[in-house]
Amino acid sequence: MLAVREFHELLSQLNVRFADLRVHRTQSTALVLKDGRAEAVSTGITRGFAARVLDRCWGFACSSTEERLEEMLEQARRAARLGEGKVRLAPVRPASYSGEVRVKKPPASFSSEEKLELLERAHSVAGEHAEIASVTVSYHDALVEFRYCSTEGGDVLLTYPWVSLQVQVVAKRGSTLQMAQERAGGVAGLEALSRVEELAASACERAIRLLDGRQAPSGRMKVVMDAKLTGVFIHEALGHAVEADHVLRGESVLANMLGRSIASEEVSIYDDPCIPGSAGYYLYDAEGVPAKRKALVEKGVLKSYLHTRETAGAMGQEASGNARAQGYSFPPLPRMSNTCMQAGDAELEELLECAGTGVYLCGSRGGEVDTARGVFQFSAEEGFMIRNGELAEPLRDVSLSGETLEILRKIELVGREVEMHPGYCGKDGQLVPVGDLAPAVLTTASVGGRI
């Protein structure tokens, strides 16, 4: 591969306002164990280059081969001369950094057979339950090398591992089927997957409980969201609404709301890519901007948006270090990292007692969010009725819906215990790993049947 000095020389020859170059190299392993049989075992290495050139507008080009590097830069330069010259970049101090995230058990140090043993351990726990009809355990790891260079002198080289394991089970009783899943992983080694038996047991227990679940009541009522569902809510309903490209395009209910109260004073939410071992962990973003924790909502008041340098420049604000790209073939976008809600003082028993009558909802199976109108609808993984402040009969196929700002403003209590859950976030055809860190909360919302 070319030396960094040669990358800078190529960029300087373009004679444009700004240009940068990203190099991505990923060595990965993927394993799938379904119903006791290894269905897929794959390993591979991918490498590619991405160039952005800013002259009158952005020009972007990418290539999987170093031989086409000069041609790729010229394509981006020509495209950058076709626009109207309205792009403004927020100023940053060019970063110079080279480092590696070190972990206890690097995935590259273990064979595929040893990794398959992890999947088999999870599968064996699931196999102990007579009502579990199907088990799928999926594993993925990667060793990622990322280099960033710019005409401003930016020079970042990062090397980090990634691991992920997911257990998905299907429970069956007669003609009734119910599915549940659990996931673990992040920017870490195999030490992050030490609890695979617990993951499998948790997924099985929930799937079997759902076989006894009844239809949820419909209507507006008190809702206690568990830590996992709260995390999904703040990610989907709030996190996407504070991504600055949505704000600039008029696609966010939070446009022109900085400094205004949008939530209960009990609510403080921040974006933090600096949590070691988390799914959304990184030290520098895809524009070479240092990662940092930033407050999104502080005691109910909207404090900031998530930016690339372009969106920050358009709003006259600072770059927040939230430019992320799925890989070399994608341009950076404003994205979340780890979306976190600050813990409160309430125990779960207090949340249930204050709810009195309502529902306790756990996890999420997905849903829909309209950031422009500020409305959402999620399907919870499972639920329970709350009667006289205590958990009662199980529920299934429960939906939660409402207006984002109304739900935030009606949060009465925030739980003491927080949980981190890894996941993936899709936007504009790009998928990046993210984390949600949140406690349980008590609010009021509309509840109904299946989405």
Q: How many domains does the chain have?
A: 2
Tens digit of each residue's pLDDT (9 = 90 or more) over 419-429? 999 999 999 99
In degrees and rounded to multiples of 5, residue 268 shows phi and psi of -135, 125
| Same domain, residue pair 287 and 311 | yes
Is a pLDDT exceeding 60 seen at residue 301?
yes
Domain boundary among 211, 236, 263: 211
| Same domain, residue pair 227 and 91 | no
In degrees and rounded to multiples of 5, residue 247 shows phi and psi of -65, -45
| Residue range(s) defining the domain that contains residue 207 | 4-211
What's the pLDDT at 4?
67
Return the sign of the alpha-carbon dihedral for residues 378, 279, 342, 202. Answer: positive
Count CB-CB contacts under 10 A for residue 196: 23
Q: If you average pLDDT over residues 212-219, what whole number do you get?
A: 91
Is a pLDDT exceeding 50 seen at residue 300?
yes
What's the pLDDT at 2?
62
Q: Is 250 left (phi over 0), alpha (psi -120 to 50) or beta?
A: left
Is a pLDDT exceeding 90 seen at residue 449?
no
Is a pLDDT exceeding 90 seen at residue 40?
no
* Contact in structure between 182 and 199 (CB atoms under 8 Å): yes
| Same domain, residue pair 130 and 231 | no
Is a pLDDT exceeding 70 seen at residue 124?
yes
* Dihedral of the alpha carbons of 430, 433, 439, 442, in degrees to the nearest 10: 20
| Same domain, residue pair 318 and 415 | yes
Is a pLDDT exceeding 70 seen at residue 223?
yes
What are 58's two structure tokens?
């952005």
Domain boundary among 173, 189, 211: 211
Tens digit of each residue's pLDDT (9 = 90 or more) over 86-121? 899 999 999 999 999 999 999 999 999 999 999 999
Model confidence at 451, in pLDDT bands (50, 70, 90)? very low
Q: Which segment, 37-41, 126-130, 338-342, is predicted with the most confidence on average? A: 338-342
| Same domain, residue pair 89 and 167 | yes
CATH code of the domain covering residue 188: 3.30.2290.10
Q: If you average pLDDT over residues 234-246, what whole number do you get?
A: 96
Query: CA nearest 108: which of 99, 120, 100, 97?
Result: 100
Is a pLDDT exceeding 80 seen at residue 409?
yes
What's the pLDDT at 8?
81
| Same domain, residue pair 203 and 270 | no
pTM for the full predicted model: 0.94
| Same domain, residue pair 275 and 355 | yes
